[in-house]
Amino acid sequence: MKFMRIGAVGAETPAVLDENGIARDLSEIVSDIGPETLPYLETRMAPLTLSDLPEVPIHGARIGAPFARPRNVWCIGLNYSDHAAEAGMPVPTEPILFTKSGSTVCGPNDPILKSPSMTKLDWEVELGVVIGKAALEIGPDAAMDHVFGYTVVNDVSERAWQLERGGQWSKGKGYPHFCPAGPLLVTRDELGDPGDLAMRLSVNGQTFQNGSTRTMIFPVAEIVHYLSQFCLLEPGDLICTGTPPGVGMGQSPQRYLDIGDEVVLSVSGLGEQKQTVIASEKRS
């Protein structure tokens, strides 16, 4: 199944796509798609005839993240062998873990926010994994049983904050709108093997990233198993699994985002995102 959330920020309608690609309203079935409902969502869906559900108009509507704000956003750094080479860093022997704030999650086409103090704003197309049931110290063979599905993520990064300000990577990863997600949340059975998915990202029409999940160092099952040894993975948690080569920091000369730039990214089977960089505003 392919799930979406459609509508204004904070008022998104949960929806599922039927066999004809028409969005069907789930608001009478579940209050939302997120941490509270993912554990039983597929069970609720099983007896339904999707064509009997009301249609949700998509044309001209805002597409939200396909799940409500997660409790946790876990991220894996340098998880592609060719990206590690691009960065001039050794291939990790264990997954590199950092986190993003839940406030970074936004709709797939919502703008990327650029603060005046940002100087090295970068992009990263990633496969996002959404947890369906809690996992703590699970074995590798059980890992995929805890995955609900997959989505597209742009792990937006401010490299100067990440690498030149000391401390942890999370500093350059946590600004609002630094984690566009969606448009779809595709269930594990619907997508199939996550280990052979094409990934693309362009800026202003120029392709920078053209990779595949084939070059992942740590595949999805290993990531879920590994994280569960240290963290309680909860329903609705998002795991950003790393990016292939082609980020702005890896260009020669380096290429970073500025106001007005348009970023388009996709992962096969999961849809496309499109964001424009705009100036951020202080919030009181």
Taking domain 67-279, whether its CATH number is 3.90.850.10 is answered by: yes
- Contact (Cβ atoms closer than 8 angstroms) between residue 249 and residue 87: yes
Partnered with residue 273 across adjacent β-strands are 265
pLDDT for position 254: 96
- Contact (Cβ atoms closer than 8 angstroms) between residue 233 and residue 227: yes
Look at residues 2, 69, 72 and name the one whose alpha carbon lies nearest to residue 32: 69
Global confidence as pTM:
0.95
Count of beta carbons in the 10 Å neighbourhood of residue 40: 13
Count of beta carbons in the 10 Å neighbourhood of residue 194: 23
pLDDT for position 83: 75
- pLDDT of the chain, 284 residues: tens digit per residue: 999 999 999 999 999 999 999 999 999 999 999 999 999 999 999 999 999 999 999 999 999 999 999 999 999 988 988 777 777 778 889 999 999 999 999 999 999 999 999 999 999 999 999 999 999 999 999 999 999 999 999 999 999 999 888 877 788 999 999 999 999 999 999 999 999 999 999 999 999 999 999 999 999 999 999 999 999 999 999 999 999 999 999 999 999 999 999 999 999 999 999 999 999 987 76
pLDDT for position 284: 60
Q: Reduced to 3 DSSP states, what percent helix, strand and coil does the chain have, rounded to the nearest 5? A: 20, 30, 50
